[in-house]
């Protein structure tokens, strides 16, 4: 049983790694591409967030109180934004049956779009 589960998981992950998002022909590709796009955007978001915190720590190194306050506000803002994104995308995808590939695709597309916007917002905050 464990061997069968391993084989199924291996095939699933292997197919995700080789999926082409340039020439989509089947709905499985739409799902996998939406997942891949969101994961890439989420990675960029995490990098952008870390860079912003690092920049704040550097620029405010001479004033521990302001640095701490600014970092705290950015962290609270990010946590609130993630919660908002997830709840907003649940509402966006409400009419699609939960647990289906279509529902997950819809969630991924919504989260990806919002994440790309948030990346721009964090960059803007860092450039002020």
Q: What is the pTM of this model?
A: 0.80
Q: Does residue 77 lie in a domain region?
A: yes
Q: Does residue 1 lie in a domain region?
A: no
The structural domain count of the chain equals 1
**Per mean pLDDT, which range of 1-5, 48-52, 69-73, 117-121 is the poorest?**
1-5
Q: Does residue 10 lie in a domain region?
A: no
Q: Does residue 87 lie in a domain region?
A: yes
Q: Does residue 116 lie in a domain region?
A: yes
Residue range(s) defining the domain that contains residue 82: 26-126
> Would the pLDDT of 25 be above 90?
no
DSSP per-residue codes, 53-89:
HHHHHHHTTT-HHHHHHHHHHHHHHHHHHHHHHHHHH
Identify the band that residue 1 occupies on the pLDDT scale cut at 50, 70 and 90: very low
What's 103's domain CATH number? 1.20.1270.180
Q: What is the per-residue pLDDT across 44-88, written as a single tens digit (0 to 9) for each?
A: 999 999 999 999 999 999 999 999 999 999 999 999 999 999 999
Q: Does residue 45 lie in a domain region?
A: yes
């Amino acid at each position: 049983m464990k061997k069968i589960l391993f084989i199924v998981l291996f095939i699933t992950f292997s197919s995700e790694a080789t999926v082409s998002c340039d020439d989509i022909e089947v709905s499985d590709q739409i799902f996998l591409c939406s997942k891949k796009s969101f994961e890439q955007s989420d990675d960029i978001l995490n990098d952008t967030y870390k860079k912003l915190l690092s920049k704040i720590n550097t620029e405010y190194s001479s004033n521990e109180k302001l640095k701490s306050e600014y970092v705290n506000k950015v962290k609270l803002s990010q946590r609130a934004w993630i919660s908002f994104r997830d709840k907003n995308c649940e509402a966006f995808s409400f009419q699609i049956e939960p647990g289906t590939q279509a529902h997950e695709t819809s969630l991924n597309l919504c989260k990806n779009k919002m994440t790309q916007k948030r990346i721009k917002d964090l960059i803007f905050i860092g450039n002020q």
